[in-house]
Amino acid sequence: MAERPVLYRFDSLECPGLVHGVTLRAGGCSEGRIAGLNLGHTVGDDPKAVDRNHARLYAELNLEPGQVVSARQVHGAHVARAAAAHGGSSLPDTDGLITDEPGVALLMRFADCVPVLLYDPVRRAIGLAHAGWRGALARVAGHTAALMVQELGCEPAQIRAAIGPSIGPCCYEVGPEVASAARAAFSRRHELLSREQASGHAHLNLWAAVSLQLREVGLVQIEVAHLCTACRTDLFYSYRREGTAAGRMAAILCLRPSGV
């Protein structure tokens, strides 16, 4: 019997009527250097294997492919509102998605970048953001939460945020240009940068960068997985650790229709 997909789930998002999770690499049919549940079509994997991996994930979550809205991620800060009409498609140049339509599943892909899952249980609305260093410094997670407030009528204090497995400050050494950009983007440098060197290199804390920008919008309920993908390549794909051999995990969120 084939191994089933495994997902990391958050205590704060374990709510009736909400599907959520971040995939691990276990439970897929990709082989060789990218073995596991690779969900990326652009990493040199057999396209048929990737399609089978998607089918396994959707079956595990009781979703249909036509419900899923994904994005062609560009490490930017554009956020789009997804609707049922977008089902089965990938929205261009987008790193944040929101919706309040039951049955619309939001999906993004990751391999070290930060998955940010957002849920308002009062307004029944969700958001998903992809934050690498560029997106994090451009406040893509904050913009996603702010758009939930502006367009979906959410109250910031009601939104629950979950920061998923991603490269941690233990492993994410960056060069002088990125470190300088982090200092310019956030005043609370002591939370973002550690192990600063005379060369300008430092370790960047993306989890702190995302948390700070969510608090700027007014969020107070923030759960952090504190799992480093680069440390745990037995569980996750990591571009920093594996380079072009890295597959892609996915984060997924969906509001179940009433009665389902």
Split at pLDDT 50, 70, 90, the class of 10 is very high
Nearest 10 degrees: CA dihedral of 51, 94, 34, 243? 160
User: For the chain, what is the domain count?
Assistant: 1
pLDDT score, position 194: 94
Q: For residue 39, is it within any domain?
A: no
Q: Does residue 118 fall inside a structural domain?
A: yes
Q: What is the pLDDT of residue 40?
A: 96
Distance CA 17, CA 102 (A): 9
* Domain membership flag for residue 135: yes
Q: Give the model confidence (pLDDT) of 114-143 as tens digits.
A: 999 999 999 999 999 999 999 999 999 999
Would 137 be classed as within a structural domain?
yes
Q: What is the pLDDT of residues 22-78, one digit of tens each?
A: 999 999 999 999 999 999 999 999 999 999 999 999 999 999 999 999 999 999 999
Predicted confidence at residue 187, as pLDDT, reads 81
Average pLDDT over residues 221-244: 96
- State the pLDDT confidence band at 259, using cuts at 50, 70 and 90: low
What is this structure's pTM?
0.96
Residues 226, 215, 209: CA angle, nearest 5 degrees: 50
User: Can you tell me whether residue 22 is helix, strand or coil?
Assistant: strand
* Cβ contacts of 24-29, under 8 Å, gap ≥ 24: 24/235, 24/236, 24/249, 25/235, 25/236, 25/237, 25/247, 25/249, 26/235, 27/2, 27/3, 27/56, 27/60, 28/52, 28/53, 28/56, 29/2, 29/53, 29/56
Residue 41 lies in a domain: no
> Residue 121: which domain range?
8-21+66-255
For residue 235, pLDDT over 80 is answered with yes
Residue closest to 48 by CA, chosen among 68, 65, 29, 23: 29
202 found inside a domain: yes
69 Ramachandran zone, left/alpha/beta (phi>0; psi -120 to 50)? beta
Residue 55 lies in a domain: no
Residue-wise pLDDT tens digits, 137-191: 999 999 999 999 999 999 999 999 999 999 999 999 999 999 999 999 998 667 8
- Collapsing DSSP states into helix, strand and coil, what is residue 129? strand
CATH of the domain at 72: 3.60.140.10
3-state secondary structure of 260: coil
Share of the chain above pLDDT 90, in %: 94
What is the predicted pLDDT for the residue at 1? 42
Residue 186 domain-assigned (yes or no): yes
